[in-house]
């Protein structure tokens, strides 16, 4: 089957310019990234600040033009910009700041904005909005003002707005970075469920390692390159390398991993000490 995302030796260079517009330097933000993602996979892209994650995400949404290399999204080539609209219908993006993504004064109108923009007929918009809000657990807030919601709730509304456009793939670019732990967990749980139940491909971009435990496959980026890739448990086991790339395995995740290696059956998605304790208590019950 054709991969939903197929990047080959993707390079992106930003030009730095002075006030007169003369190029004064070049930043190679992506330096030969190759990545193939199957439809329905939950992929995590980990990397410290400045490693090139957002630049990669923007390419997936045809917001940038590759300097070198090729990128196909849903079989469409991103570089020539002839399919930009179709690419953006295929891949929806959720950004970091929940406040910047809200457009309307009522939750359901906000969620309806995307489908309206891509020309979905009105009756169908409301159906999609209701379904999407139910999926992210925000249906009961449909008539509320988005401004009164918590950060995590706003991000779930943003996810609903993407879902209502029925994309094949959702990218979350550090979409949990500004949330409290409860909000982060709600967003990760929601997106994991959407991935499993709706078979939507998810690209989870983050610098929080504990968020990648549920991923099918993990890519680690540093200085514009993919420097590690593998299953979460294999990546977590390489903690010395991760530290080199300014990433650290959370202690609870590491302990859970070691316990699993000893044959103790713990769920794979333990993220923190509280969940580890709960899981261990359940073993005794």
Q: What DSSP assignment string belongs to 70-129?
A: EEEETTEESTT-TTHHHHHHHEEEE-S-GGGG--SSSHHHHHHHHHHHTT--HHHHHHHH
Q: Select the span of 6-14, 51-59, 137-145, 183-191 touching Mg ion (CB under 5 A).
A: 51-59
Give the per-residue contact string, 52-71, with Mg ion (x = CB under 5 A; - = no): -xx-----------------
Identify which of 173, 110, 177, 171 has the alpha carbon closest to the alpha carbon of residue 138.
Answer: 110
Q: Which two tokens stand for residue 248?
A: 């650290």
Q: Which does 199 bind (CB under 5 to 8 A by kind): ligand ADP, Mg ion, none?
A: none
Cβ count within 10 A of residue 234:
12
Contacting ligand ADP (CB under 6 A), which of 10, 29, 87, 133? 29
Q: Binding to ligand ADP by residue 54, rule CB under 6 A? A: yes
- 50 touching ligand ADP, by CB under 6 A: yes
- By CB under 6 A, residue 10 contacts ligand ADP: no
Residue number with CB closer to ligand ADP (70 or 223): 223
Residue 47 near ligand ADP by CB under 6 A: yes
For residue 55, state whether it binds ligand ADP (rule: CB under 6 A): yes
What does the alpha-carbon distance between residue 92 and residue 22 come to, in Å, rounded to a whole number? 34
- In the bound state with ligand ADP, the residue whose beta carbon lies nearer, of 29 and 226, is 29
Name the strands in the sheet holding 91-94, side by side, starting at the edge strand that comes first in the sequence: 91-94, 169-173, 201-206, 42-47, 217-222, 225-230
**Where does this chain bind ligand ADP (CB under 6 A)?**
14, 27, 29, 47, 49-55
């Amino acid at each position: 089957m054709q991969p939903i995302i197929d990047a080959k030796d993707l390079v992106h260079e930003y030009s730095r310019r002075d006030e007169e517009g003369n190029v004064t330097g070049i930043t190679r933000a992506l330096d030969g990234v190759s990545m193939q993602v199957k439809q329905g996979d939950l992929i995590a892209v980990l990397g410290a600040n400045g490693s090139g994650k957002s630049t990669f995400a923007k390419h997936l949404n045809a917001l940038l033009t590759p300097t070198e290399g090729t990128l196909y999204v849903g079989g469409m080539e991103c570089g020539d910009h002839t399919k930009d609209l179709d690419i953006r219908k295929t891949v929806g993006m959720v950004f970091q700041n929940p406040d910047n993504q809200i457009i309307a004064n009522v939750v359901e109108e906000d969620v309806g904005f995307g489908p309206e923009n891509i020309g979905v007929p009105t009756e169908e918009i409301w159906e999609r909005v209701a379904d999407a809000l139910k999926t992210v657990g925000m249906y009961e807030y449909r008539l509320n003002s988005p401004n009164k919601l918590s950060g995590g709730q706003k991000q779930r509304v943003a996810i609903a707005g993407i879902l209502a456009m029925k994309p094949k793939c959702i990218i979350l670019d550090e979409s949990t970075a500004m949330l409290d732990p409860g909000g982060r967990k709600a967003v990760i749980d929601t997106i994991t469920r959407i991935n499993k139940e709706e078979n939507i491909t998810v690209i989870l971009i983050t610098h929080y390692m504990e968020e990648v435990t549920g991923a099918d496959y993990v890519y680690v980026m540093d200085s514009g390159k993919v420097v590690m890739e593998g299953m979460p448990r294999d990546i977590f086991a390489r903690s010395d390398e991760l530290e080199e790339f300014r990433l650290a395995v959370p202690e609870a995740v590491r302990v859970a991993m070691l316990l699993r290696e000893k044959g103790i059956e713990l769920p794979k998605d333990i993220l923190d000490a509280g969940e580890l304790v709960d899981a261990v208590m359940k073993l005794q019950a």
